[in-house]
Structure 1
Amino acid sequence: MSTPSEAVRGRPEPALSVIVAERRQLINLAYRLLGSLAEAEDAVQETYTRWYAMSPQRREAVASPGAWLTTVAGRICLDVLGSARVRRERYVGAWIPEPVPDRTEWVGGRAGGGSAEPGDPADRITLDESVNMAFLVVLEAMTPAERVAFILHDVFRYPFAEVAEIVGRTPAACRQLASSARRRVHAARPPSAATASTAGQAGLVRDFKEAWEAKDIKALVGLLDPDATMTADGGGLVGTVLRPVEGSARIALYLAHIADKAPGLVLLERTVNGLPGLVAQHAGVTVTVAAFGLAGGRITRIWAVRNPEKLRSWTDANGQG
């Protein structure tokens, strides 16, 4: 990282547009590192605060503002991850990463609308396999250093020399961290998981939606893997199961129970973290966002986010199907 020197004293300070242009990359990085849009936005804001806390001379001396911002954001996220592990141990029920919508479906709360510069950080998240819910859940099981090294190197393609500067370890140690994280990802992948087309996944989710709407327990059981697991996240703010529901029959009965308790529940097919998912609305308000894990032509995992603090990117979305 550069420091002020006589050699760069005449260099003009980086233009505001250059600095702001890094925001999207930083939000994408921080979301993958933290699994929370709110925390990602805070981390990026803190990064910019530190940038502008420097004197103009020090900012002029930074050879690569983008690299500086990434380094600082990575270190902030590493610190946040350390404290988050403690906070999540006190969390009421299961903690699921915050889901994000596809901006081509909902931009700024208007399907097909929005401006060229969306204000919601969810609109700046690039959806790919590194943000699908199954992947993010595996990341939660990693140590902070493993997660940062793995995401920076394997997802964002930073060389280990640069990763080492952020993590505060040697390049060799960072290589080992990323390798350990990679093994976790491979171990969590179901043996029967084949790469299904998006259309195939969407069809399975649609069948699941229709069976749920019809309260057809037999159909739900047939769509679920016998050993399927459903995990819900209410954060102690709304009612939901505190422990995972295991087994296709139990999940089907639980879903039918929900349908009975909430008449008028509207289910919408939406993209959740880059893959087909469902959004449940009641009286026009988004109350649940569900992501799915699929393998062998059946649903193996359901992650149902009900914590309203994690649904801010979905609350203004309209109900167009």
Structure 2
Amino acid sequence: MSHNRALPRPHHVNSETEALARYRALRPRLISVAYSLLGSVEESEDAVQEAWLRLHRTPTGEITDITAWLVTTVSRLALDSLRSARRRREEYVGEWLPEPLVDEADPADRVTLDESMSMAMLVVLETLSPAERTAFVLHDVFGLPFDEVGRVVGRSPAACRQLAARARKHVTARAPRFDVGPDEHRRIVEAFLSAIRGGDMDGLVSLLDPDAVLRSDGGGAVRSALHPILGARKVARFLLGIQARSAGLHELRHAAVNGRPGLLGIRDGRTESVAAIAVSGGRISEIDIVLNPEKLKRTGPA
């Protein structure tokens, strides 16, 4: 994975006003770092805000590289949150999916998401240990050298290199390969939506990879599948069943989800579901549907 999203390195700052300006310029990218570690915009914003408070309390003369200082502080806070979240997610009702990022969000609040951080990738990152995830995200995605990663994780650069290597091997084996361009991806999603609207079982199955998987996250607040649904025909049957039960009650429409074509489910003018769709080999390989209202608050009115 290339380091095409490496963070810029401004020089030493000499005043609180300059530190605030640097912080504001870096804030979207800092949230992106935290989101890549946590899969939650709210928790990411909390980490970035806490980093600002700590920066405000630290004399600027003690900081030689404000970018490195902020990235390290945000990453440490996110790592602490990730470690404490592991138990909560183990007790979660059903499948836990990351909070989706939908392109209809307020541009001022939009996370500058790295192109690799699809919903499917974030789901894979959930299977890593907190230290592996942190080493992989900071080094492979954001291009931080291992000595800086070590300061976040609390391990030597050599140990962090091993963490990242293990994570990379795991990600390479499990992450979907997006081998189609945006236009082809969009065309497949459009055909997928048409097949659902038309109740076309055969057409839907033909668009799905034989080993397709569907995950849904209701968080115990709304009805959802508690376990992944595996296989093209089972996935198609599940989707058409939902469509039949909700016909006339909600609308499906196109939207970009974590930077890739996906779908929104709209009921009474509000978003009730967000579906991220991974395409590999010309067919849909993964569908991740977020239904938990707590994770859809930022999509706002449709």
2:155 to 139, 152, 169: 169
Query: Which of 194, 205, 220 lines up with 1:210 in the alignment?
Result: 194
| TM superposition shift of 1:128 | 3.8
Partner of 2:125: 139
Asked if 1:315 corresponds to 2:300, the answer is: yes
Pick aligned residue for 1:281 from 260, 266, 269: 266
CA contact (8 A) 2:101 2:258 kept: yes
1:47 aligns with 2:47: no
Q: Do the aligned partners of 1:14 and 1:59 also contact (CA within 8 Å) in 2?
A: no
Q: 1:161 to 1:215 in 2, by over 3 A?
A: same
1:266-277 alignment to 2 at 5 Å?
Answer: 266-277=251-262
Indicate the percent of aligned positions where both proteins have the same amino acid: 46
Q: Could you say what secondary structure the match of 2:50 adopts?
A: helix
Q: Say if 1:246 and 1:107 are closer, same or farther in 2 by CA, change over 3 A.
A: closer
1:101–1:171 distance in 2 versus 1, CA, 3 Å: same
CA deviation map 1:119-160 (0-9, x unaligned): x2xx1x224432111211111111111111111111111111
- Provide the rounded CA distance (Å) in 1 between the counterparts of 2:115 and 2:128: 18
Task: Say whether 1:36 aligns with 2:40.
Answer: yes
Gaps of 5+ in 1: 1-7, 109-113
Partner of 2:30: 26
- Tell me the TM-score normalized by structure 1: 0.85
1:290 maps to: 275
- CA separation in 1, counterparts of 2:16 and 2:220? 47
Determine which structure has more spread, i.e. the larger CA radius of gyration.
Answer: 1
SS of 2:242 mapped into structure 1: helix
**Cα distance change on mapping 1:107 and 1:97 into 2, 3 Å:** closer
DSSP 3-state at the match of 2:273: strand
Equivalent-residue separation in structure 2 for 1:14 and 1:62 (angstroms): 14
Find the counterpart in structure 1 of residue 75 from structure 2.
74
Looking at structure 2, the residues matched to 273 and 240 of structure 1 have their Cα atoms a distance apart, in angstroms, of: 21
Aligned to 2:143: 157
Which residue of the partner structure matches residue 208 of structure 2?
A: 224
Equivalents in 1 of 2:60, 2:87: separation in Å? 35
Change (3 A) 1:12 1:266: closer
Residues 264-283 of structure 1 show CA distances to partners (whole Å, capped at 9, x for unaligned) of 22111111111111111112
Residue 76 of structure 2 is aligned to residue 92 of structure 1: no
- 1:129 alignment partner, SS class: coil
2:124–2:175 contact (8 Å) kept in structure 1: no
Q: CA deviation at 1:59?
A: 2.9
Match of 2:166 among 180, 186, 189: 180
Q: Superposition RMSD on alpha carbons, in Å?
A: 1.8
Per the alignment, residue 9 of structure 2 pairs with none
Quote the residue 1:259 is aligned against.
Answer: 243
Q: Say how many residue pairs are matched.
A: 289
Displacement of 1:22 in angstroms is 2.0
Match for residue 111 of structure 1?
Answer: none
What is residue 201 of structure 1 aligned with on the other side?
A: 185
Q: State the AA in 1 paired with 2:90.
A: E
| C-alpha distance in 1 between matches for 2:90 and 2:285 | 25
Provide the rounded CA distance (Å) in 1 between the counterparts of 2:242 and 2:256. 22
Report the CA distance between 1:14 and its aligned residue: 4.9
The whole-number CA distance in structure 2 between the counterparts of 1:100 and 1:214 is 28
Q: How far apart are 1:66 and its partner, in Å?
A: 2.1
Does the Cα contact within 8 Å between 2:139 and 2:146 map onto a contact in 1?
yes
Q: Against the structure 1 CA distance between its residues 83 and 310, is the aligned structure 2 distance closer, same or farther, given a 3 Å change threshold? A: same
